[in-house]
Amino acid sequence: MPTTDIFAARILAVEEDPLWATQLQSGLQQQGHRVTLRGAADGLALAEVDNFDLILLTLLGPDGLDRLQQLRQRSRVPVVLMSGLGDEQHRIAGFRLGADDYLPKPFTITELCVRVAAILRRVAFERQAMAPQQPAGELVFDDLASDVLLDGSAAGLTLSEYRVLTLLHQQANQVLSKPDLYQQALRRGYARHDRSLDMHVSHLRRKLQAIGYRAGRLDTVWGQGYMLVTDAPDGPPAESV
């Protein structure tokens, strides 16, 4: 039966064994979660651009802990390590690098679901405790979830969208250039043919409109960049470019 004491989470499972990955996915989906499967090669790359509530990371070889360290430099999403190397020294290294839990293989799907539920309960409690009180109609920025809420409704942003909106919100009513947004939010250099920032801004406009945000709007400043206008009369977000 699906869990009833935690929220349905978006989970990224980084696992090379296709049979075991399928079992992980099936077991967690029975608990009501949405599970994305990836191998080690592209799993962490996806974690950097998408918004997950939990990551299951299988450690394979000596570079496994390096992957965890790289992830922790970019994200605070909870991570459960799964590994056949269950000695004390290896477990301690994993926790020191930021793992939230450690499951030595072999383990059962039932045990995994219990561990996942415990972490998600903690995350839900932390989100509730850390969420600042905002006046009605204003955005609440949830760094743990990499999302914004308006009167309790979440926008469902990706990590990149959240970074873009955070920067624009921090410097509201100021134009931020495309090169600055690429460097600070998308974590890469700007190229004129790259339209990904325009796509993210278009998605932000749509998602903010969907939750009823009217305290500001995302404007395109032609030839310069973007700005979040918060001192203008209420109105719908500007059209996307």
Query: Does the residue 118 lie in any domain?
Result: yes
Confidence of residue 237 (pLDDT cuts 50, 70, 90): very low
Cα–Cα dist 215/228, whole Å: 10
Both 120 and 146 in a single domain? no
Both 108 and 152 in a single domain? no
Nearest to 203 by CA among 71, 55, 38, 49: 49
Query: Does the residue 31 lie in any domain?
Result: yes
pLDDT in tens, 153-194: 889 898 899 999 999 999 999 999 999 999 998 888 888 888
Greater pLDDT, 145 or 4: 145
Both 120 and 160 in a single domain? no
Query: Does the residue 172 lie in any domain?
Result: yes
Both 78 and 115 in a single domain? yes
Both 80 and 107 in a single domain? yes
- Asked if 168 contacts 228 with a C-beta cutoff of 8 angstroms, the reply is yes
Query: Does the residue 239 lie in any domain?
Result: no
Query: Does the residue 22 lie in any domain?
Result: yes
Model pTM?
0.57
Greater pLDDT, 201 or 66: 201
- Asked if 67 contacts 40 with a C-beta cutoff of 8 angstroms, the reply is yes
Written as one letter, the residue type at 228 is L
Both 108 and 19 in a single domain? yes
Query: Does the residue 234 lie in any domain?
Result: no
Written as one letter, the residue type at 167 is L
Q: What is the pLDDT of residue 197?
A: 93
Both 46 and 106 in a single domain? yes
pLDDT in tens, 101-123: 999 888 899 999 999 999 988 88
Domain end position, chosen among 102, 128, 154: 128
The percent of residues in the chain predicted with pLDDT above 90, rounded, is 37
Q: What would you report as the CA-atom Rg of the chain, rounded to the nearest whole angstrom?
A: 20
- Asked if 177 contacts 183 with a C-beta cutoff of 8 angstroms, the reply is no
Both 59 and 78 in a single domain? yes
Number of domains in the chain: 2
Residue 25: give its domain's CATH number. 3.40.50.2300
Q: What is the pLDDT of residue 40?
A: 78
Query: Does the residue 134 lie in any domain?
Result: no
What's the domain range around 160? 139-229
Q: Across residues 1-13, what is the average pLDDT?
A: 66
Confidence of residue 233 (pLDDT cuts 50, 70, 90): very low
pLDDT in tens, 35-86: 999 887 788 788 877 778 899 998 766 667 888 888 887 778 899 998 877 6
